[in-house]
Structure formats: structure tokens, C-alpha cells
Structure 1
Amino acid sequence: MANIRGGTIPIMDLAMATGSAGMISLVNSFVIITEYNTKVQGFLVHSVERIVNMNWEEIHPPPKGTGRDHYLTAVTRVDNQLVEIIDVEKILAEVAPVSEEISIGVIDAEVHHKAVSLRVLTVDDSSVARKQVSRCLETVGVEVVALNDGRQALDYLLKMVAEGKKPEEEFLMMISDIEMPEMDGYTLTAAIRNDPRLQKMHITLHTSLSGVFNQAMVKKVGADDFLAKFRPDDLAARVVARIKAAE
């Protein structure tokens, strides 16, 4: 724990959290302060080489064959060197897990009965986040189709319309992460809104990053709703509201 700017925040040894040997000496070490899922925490690291800003088009999924136990969510190249991007949501789920239980009263029997015949499309590059969202929605009763990034989701929807199907009739809604490799949630939403065949899709953006900037972007790209991760009751309530609205 550390007291920073009048607030106490937890500090996690990043090396230890990803399965490596922990820091032996704190001399000349650094703490990276982050905000994820509306919570502030620090990651203890040996050093910070540099800070770079990348476009989401330059972020790619991790190589196939990396297995299920890795902590990578994406990779990119900086100065022609491969840089691994850590799945922070996976680390937080292991070190400081949040409850995935939905409170009594959020879902009633009538809604659950109607949900069984409905499908929800979810998009998230984090395997942990995909599982969290899927378990929550399956508790509501809907069937879940989970995809890994915005590009995959857009291709999936375009294939659907090419087959003569209407995505807004196939899915109750789409719940998409924002920060993803290949294509981020903002770009995905804008692409859907700009395509007459897709634009009726109900879109909720679901992100580990909150703040005024994200909420402003949600309106700019035309998303229907915005939700910070991971709040099972809030997520379930959004789906329940859509089920009732679709009656």
C-alpha cells in the first residue's frame, strides 16, 4: 500500500503478478499508477524505458500458440522491436478479484424466460473479460456470441448481412470493449453507424477506462450506452432493460 496525494492505493509487484520473481530491492524502482475498472492501483516495476502513444491499428493480437496461461492481450512494434502488451484485467482478476454475483431482484423469472430466446454479441480482447461478461449474461438467460476484437466483430456482422440476415434481428444488442487490437470499440461503433445495413444495432460500450473523455467519445461515435467494467448488476440491468424494451 502507498499514500499518494492524500489517498491510499494498493501496490502490486508486476513481475510477481505475471509469474516471475518479485522485486528484491526497491531502490531506484518505479510505481506506475493506473485506473482500471473505476479503481486506482499501482504497479511496481524495475524501470520505465519510455512512454509511447500508439494507434489501435498498430496493436495486434498475440501470436497463436501462446497458450492459455500467458498474460498477453496484444503485441505491437516500436522501433522494429516486438513489444508485448499485458492483460491488466487478467492480473487484477487474479490479484484482486471482483464479485461476479448478480444481486437478487435484478433479474425476475419473466425476464429470464424471455431472455432464453435472445442472443447478445460481446466483443473483448481480454479472455478474462470475455468470461466475466459471458457468465453474467448467461445468468440473465441470453445466449452469448463472444468475439475477440473490433475487426473480427465487423467482419462477422458484414458476413451476416451478406447472407441476407439483419444483425438487429439476430442480436438483442452488442456489448463491446473499447481498447482492443486491430480495431477499437470507437472505430467499430462508427463503422456500424455509417453502414445502413448495420446501423440499427443497439451498442453498449464496456470499458475498464472511465472518465469524461470516454463518455464524450461514446456520444460522438453514436453508441447507445456506456458502462464501466466490471459491475455485474449494472451490466445485467442494461440487458434486462433491452429485453423489456424489445417486447
Structure 2
Amino acid sequence: MDTLIQSVDQRTRLAGANRLEILLFSLGKDSHTGREEVFGINVFKIREVMHVPEVTHAPDMPPGVKGMVSLRGQMIPVVDMAHFCDLDVETKPSVLIVTEFNRSTQGFLVHSVEQILRMEWNEIKVPPPMLANRLGGLVTAVTELPDKRIVMIIDVEKILAETELEQDDLTRFEGVESFGRDATVLFADDSSVARKQIAMTLDTLGIKHLSAKNGEEAWARLEEIAERAKAMNVPVYDLVQLVLTDIEMPGMDGYVLTRKIKDDKRFAGIPVVMHSSLSADANITIGKSVGVDAYVPKFDPRELAKTLEPFIKIKTAD
């Protein structure tokens, strides 16, 4: 299984070109429907794939968390993916996908892994409402395989939130105070959990905000704002003072969105801050290469506030 996850540098170059690789996996055949559906996760979030090691069970674990495993001296929580997808499967999971994002490490139990699929982000689509509402709202994007199977890409950040592996929201907001400035931020993120967290932070900071579910939607909103600014005979910066973007988004990723903003004179003076669970140095380097003004890992409201503050205060004080 080690050959599944290879060069991070190669995958970094893919990300900068609006491409990605997703690992396809199965959670087993649902005993109710008889179907074995295909799921996917961005390889960038995966540290390794292994056969399930011995799991140490502990009392008072959150629902869906099977216990802990020791991985090279580090104890990491093990999450049963079938539980969160509400699938009743008879076979036991045989594979552990060890993931690393949001500066946390956890293992996801799955039935089997299939292959790594190289794709462009414009082949990854926002799921239609009927599909998005399946599996408790865990499906954040979908794509179609050549054999016509549908791959559902899971919102792993939502899983962390629901397993309570993420710190309580109220605790995270201690020390976050209003900037006392009149400003508007446009933010883009395909995760419903992330959008909620960002909105809560901006509300606490006293900043007005507009949201988008992906890069394409964010770009469309920016073009609408630019048209409005033109009609008002004011610079776009008067209407929106900062763009906050995720990296991984269906249709158009954060790198491409940033490049389009920086290459368009209409958006001169508007800083772009990248806010992502992909916090490796390689991702930060790509962000800088496309013109991003700052990079902040998910998700710490205090750190996000600290990153936004100089842009908001300097620009709105002009």
C-alpha cells in the first residue's frame, strides 16, 4: 500500500495547475440497498494507507470513534467512516487511511481502497441537492468515473466536527474581539462546517461578509461586484476589502481563483488570504507563486483574526 502515496512535490505541482489526485475507496456493500458505493478523498490529505492495526478501545469515546492506534509513537483516533455515512455493512473494515489536515492526524476505517485517480478540479462538481443531503450532508463534491460510477467526495472536516475531535467552538473564540472597522470580506469554501466557522469568526470581528461554495461561485460574485462598482463609479475595493479562500474546491480551486484575481486590474488592492486545511510548506509556496498575500491554516479563529487584522485595519484606515 505504500506505493499508493508517493511524491508530495509531484502532487503539489498538480494542485498549482487546478488538478488533483483522489484516492478511491469503498466502505463495503450496504445490506439495505445491496450497493457498494465509491468515495474519494484528496491524496494531499493522506499521510499513509495501511492494513488496520490493533485498535485500543477506550471509554467515553465520541460516537463513531472506535478507539486509538499507536503510529510510530503517536496515538491517533480511529474513525469508522461507515458509521458517519449511515451504512449498515456486514464486512469489517480492513484498511486504515491515515489523514493529516487542520493540523490534526486521524485514521479512517474503510473496507478497501481502489486506485488513485488524477483529475482536474473542473471535473469535480458541486453535488445536486438530493445527493448533497445524503449521508447526513457529508458529500461535498462528486465526479463521474469513465465506467459511469459516481464518486462522492466526503467533507472530512465535517466528520471531525461531528466526532468532537475538533475543539469546542466557544472555547476557540476566547480572545477574539471586534476590529471596530467597517469592512466586507468575500470568502469561499466548499465545506459547510468551514463556512459556518468562518462566518462566526467574521461576525465576532464585526466584519460584514459574503460567502461562496467554491472558486467558480466566488469568481462569479466578484464579477457581479465589479459590475456594480463600475455602475457606481467606484473601485471594487470600496465594496469588498479582502478575499478569503480555501484551496480544495470543486470547479475552480483556490490557486486558480487567486491567480484570476491578481491578474485582473479591476481587483487591484484587494488582498487574498488563503485559509486551508492543507498547511504543508509546499502549499504555502504555491500560494505565494500565484500572488496570495497571506496563508493561514484551518481552523483557529484567533489565528485567522490575527492574519486578517493588518489587512483590514490598514486598508480601511486609508
TM-score w.r.t. length of structure 1: 0.90
Q: CA separation in 2, counterparts of 1:167 and 1:66?
A: 36
Residues 207, 228 of structure 1: 8 Å contact kept: yes
Residues 44-55 of structure 1 mapped to structure 2, 5 A cutoff: 44-55=109-120
Correspondence for 1:184: 253
Q: Deviations over 1:33-63 (max 9, x none)?
A: 1111011111000111222122111111011
Residue 93 of structure 1 aligns with an amino acid whose one-letter code is A
Structure 2, unpaired ranges of 5+: 1-67
Alignment pair present for 1:86 and 2:154: yes
Unmatched 5+ stretches in structure 1: none
Give distance in 2, aligned partners of 1:137 and 1:23: 45
Aligned counterpart for 2:208 among listed residues 143, 152, 170? 143
Q: What is residue 126 of structure 2 aligned with on the other side?
A: 61
Secondary structure at 1:61 match in 2? coil
User: 1:125 deviation in Å?
Assistant: 0.7
Structure 2: distance between partners of 1:170 and 1:218: 24
1:102 to 153, 156, 173: 173
Provide the residue aligned with 1:245 in structure 2. Answer: 314
Deviation at 1:24, TM superposition (A): 5.9
Q: Is the 8 A contact 1:10 1:41 kept in 2?
A: yes
- The answer to whether the 8 A contact 2:184-2:240 is kept is yes
* Distance in 2 (alpha carbons) for counterparts of 1:184 and 1:23: 37
1:1-247 equivalences in 2 (<5 Å): 1-21=68-88, 25-26=92-93, 29-66=94-131, 68=133, 69-79=136-146, 80-95=148-163, 96-100=165-169, 101-104=172-175, 106-107=176-177, 111=179, 113-114=180-181, 117-163=182-228, 164=230, 166-246=235-315, 247=317
Distance 1:52 1:8, change over 3 A: same
For 1:187, give the aligned amino acid.
Answer: V
Distance in 1, Cα, partners of 2:190 & 2:217: 10
Indicate how the Cα distance of structure 1 residues 162 and 243 shifts in structure 2: closer, same or farther if over 3 A, else same: closer
Conserved in 2, the CA contact under 8 Å of 1:18 and 1:91? no
Give, in angstroms, the shift of residue 31 of structure 1: 0.2
Choose 1 or 2 for highest CA Rg: 2
Percent identity reads 38
Give the secondary structure class of the aligned counterpart of 1:84: strand
Name the amino acid aligned to 1:46: H
